[in-house]
Structures are given as structure tokens and as C-alpha cells.
Amino acid sequence: MPGPAPCSIWLTPLHRTLLEGVARRPTQPHRLVQRVGIILALADDPHVGRIARQLRLGRLTVRTWRDRWLAAVPTLCAAEAAGEAVAALLTRITTLFADAPRPGAPATFTPEQVCGIIALACTSPAAAARPVTHWTPAELAAEAMRQGIVPTISARSAGRFLKRGRAQAASDALLPPPSPRRR
């Protein structure tokens, strides 16, 4: 029993020219070129299975990008009819083929909070009336909460910010290495 009739993709001459230009440009990311290639191939042959085999991709991948293109066609055609600049239209097309946001938990700390913790680590512990000569992750976390930079933070997280936050060329860590434990 044959399946449903394939959705055909119709490209305006300008859309085809822009897509072919993106596909030929050697500096484009591979995923963008691959997604543009899917649309160009589907414009010539609307059968998802054949295009998936031809491009060595999964049928679901081809279907996903076909559906995203079909959903954006009215907007793209309206922009083209309104006389939108070619560069702006190209930006719309490349944005269309960008990855969708991934699910996951939002960041726990804002960039301002991270900068505040790093700035605190750059000051002397004596300036914050701490009875230590160097910041430890636990002292830094406690002081960040006391100053209201963050409502709560673990010593491990404070230490992670300092480890990750330093510049690539930095030769010294922001915190001294942990001292050996006494037994």
C-alpha cells in the first residue's frame, strides 16, 4: 500500500539562488550546508525516502528540515514580496536552519553574579574581614553569600567559577592550591 503523497517544495528563483550560494560557500558550517542540501534536493524530488538514502541521512532528519522550511515559506515569500534586502533574506534563511534551543535547566547564576564572585576573589580576604590570608572555595562561597552577591552557593561551585573563569594565558590560579591535609 503506497504512503501519502509527498509534500512538494517550491522555491522562488531568489530562494534557490540564495540556497545554492550557501551550499557552495566553503566557509559555511557543515550542518548548514547539509540542511540547505536537503531543501535543494527535495525541491527536485519530493520523496523523503529517496533523498534520505541519497544524502545518507535518516528520514526523520529530512522530514524535520522539510517541515521547518514549509513552515517558514510564507514568511520568506512575504519578506521577498515586501522588497527586503537580499542580505536580510539570506540572514532569515540561515537563521531558519540554525539549531533549535536544547532543553535543560536554566543557569543557576547570572553572568553578573559570576563576575561578582570573581571580583571578590581578586580582593584580599582581609578587606572582607576574613581571618585567612588566601581565599579558599569555602571562604569565598561564605563571603559571596554574606555580601549578597548570590543567595546560596556551594564551595565547590565557587571553586569551579574560579577554575573556569581564568584566562587561557594566565599562569597563576586565582586561588592557591589546596594545602595537604594533616592527619
Q: What is the per-residue pLDDT across 91-113, written as a single tens digit (0 to 9) for each?
A: 999 999 988 777 888 888 998 99
pLDDT of residue 144: 94
1-24 pLDDT, tens per residue?
Answer: 566 777 788 899 999 999 999 999
Nearest CA among 164, 115, 175 for reference residue 144: 115
How would residue 56 be classed by pLDDT, with cut points 50, 70 and 90? very high
Residue 171: what pLDDT?
54
pTM above 0.75, yes or no: no
Q: What is the DSSP string of 50-115?
A: HHHHHHT--HHHHHHHHHHHHHHHHHHHHHHHTT--HHHHHHHHHHHTSPPPPP-PPPSS-HHHHH
pLDDT digits (tens, 9 = 90+) for 115-129: 899 899 888 898 888
